[in-house]
Amino acid sequence: MKREPLSKKQKVLYETRTLFALLVLVCAMLQNTPHLTLTILGSHPLILIPLVVFIGMFEKAIVAALYGMFAGILWDVTVAAGDGYNALILMLFATVASVLISYLMRNNISTALLLSLSAIVIYLLLHWFIFVVCSGATGGFITLVTFYLPTAVYTAVFAPLIYILLRAVLRKIKE
């Protein structure tokens, strides 16, 4: 039985999805390994958040959800309380980005920045509320101002760079 060669569309799909999986692995390693990224004011960039949003912008909802869950599981494996928070929230971010791009928005840099900045702020505020405020830790507001807000800004700085590089590589694959 002879196997048919892959069509151009199938090759692009396989290459794109392999690239996304490798990017999630590399970004998870960069984000979760100490001293691989520069720490400023005790915070480091959470590059998986914009990456997952951008993957969602280029994929269908189910596939985006799977990439989001994969990234979140990799993140949850490295945190002290690996309770599935990151897997759930990143899956939701990727799915929402995919659905918004499919039905409501255009895939361009301004939309990418709007969606990624929204995801960064939502993620960090939810994390602060659930794991700091609800746990009854003292100094919750100070933690918000000195850790969570600098982390949001630091992550937001990397978002346009990630989108531009991802878009350029995807265009190269499609050629």
Q: Minimal CA–CA distance to 143: which of 17, 58, 43?
A: 43
pLDDT of residue 125: 96
* Residue 128 near residue 122 (C-beta atoms within 8 A): no
* CB within 8 Å of 87: residues ≥ 6 apart: 68, 69, 72, 73, 75, 76
What gap in Å lies between CA 120 and CA 138, rounded to an integer? 24
Looking at residues 8-23, what average pLDDT do you find?
A: 92
CATH fold group of domain 15-28+43-174: Arp2/3 complex 21 kDa subunit ARPC3 (1.10.1760)
**Amino acid in position 78:** T
Q: What is the dihedral of CA 88, 49, 128, 61, to 10 degrees?
A: -30
How many angstroms from the chain centroid is the CA of residue 96?
A: 12
pLDDT tens for 165-175 read 999 999 998 87
pLDDT of residue 129: 94
pLDDT of residue 35: 78
What are the residue ranges spanned by the domains of the chain?
15-28+43-174
pLDDT of residue 3: 80
pLDDT tens for 121-167 read 999 999 999 999 998 888 889 999 999 999 999 999 999 999 999 99
pLDDT of residue 106: 95
pLDDT of residue 42: 76
pLDDT of residue 153: 94
If DSSP codes are grouped into helix, strand and coil, which group holds residue 84?
Answer: coil
pLDDT tens for 19-63 read 999 999 999 999 988 877 777 777 889 999 999 999 999 999 999
